Amino acid sequence: MAIKIMLDPGHGGKDPGAVGNGLQEKVLTLDIAKRIKRILETEYTGVEVRLTRESDIYLDLSERAKLANTWGADLFLSIHINAGGGTGWESYRYTAASAKTVAYQDTIHNAVIQAIDSGIKDRGKKAANFAVLRETKMPALLTENLFIDNAKDAAKLKDQAFLEKLARG
């Protein structure tokens, strides 16, 4: 029996997400999700991967959760890029998350931090009442992959080798 992973590239279509330094969140999140899907499907067995969107379309938050719930995903991962003048990488789980979700967050958070370039600030493992985390019926995480409005972070987000490290983590 395969583990079913639903990857959720944040934003899309009419919603570009955060923008800055010539980048759009919706484009980067889709790129990262496709990289993760490729790595999981080509380097691992017993894994089935789907994306909530495979192109530049708009889905509301409840639609994203419903896709994962209907499919019966074992893990939901929503991929985002931060903005607001900070720097670094962080992960989120639902405020009332299960012990299994917390364990997934510990494992994935630590793996990404180890995989990406040193010198990137670890903003920590956090909990939040985000709709996609609250409405999914399986362990669910949301990642914020650097800050699009920070020139140093944006330079990394423009680097294909960095995006590959991020996806591999």
* Residues with a known catalytic role: 144
Cα distance from N-terminal residue to C-terminal residue, the chain? 24
**CB contact set of 159 (below 8 Å; sequence gap of 6+):** none
Query: CA dist 156 to 74, 77, 79, 142, Å?
Result: 31, 21, 16, 20
Alpha carbon distance 72, 4 (integer Å): 7
| Residue spans of beta strands (DSSP E) within 83-139 | 89-94, 122-128
Give the distance from CA 137 to its chain's centroid.
17
Q: Which residue has the tokens 């639609």?
A: 63
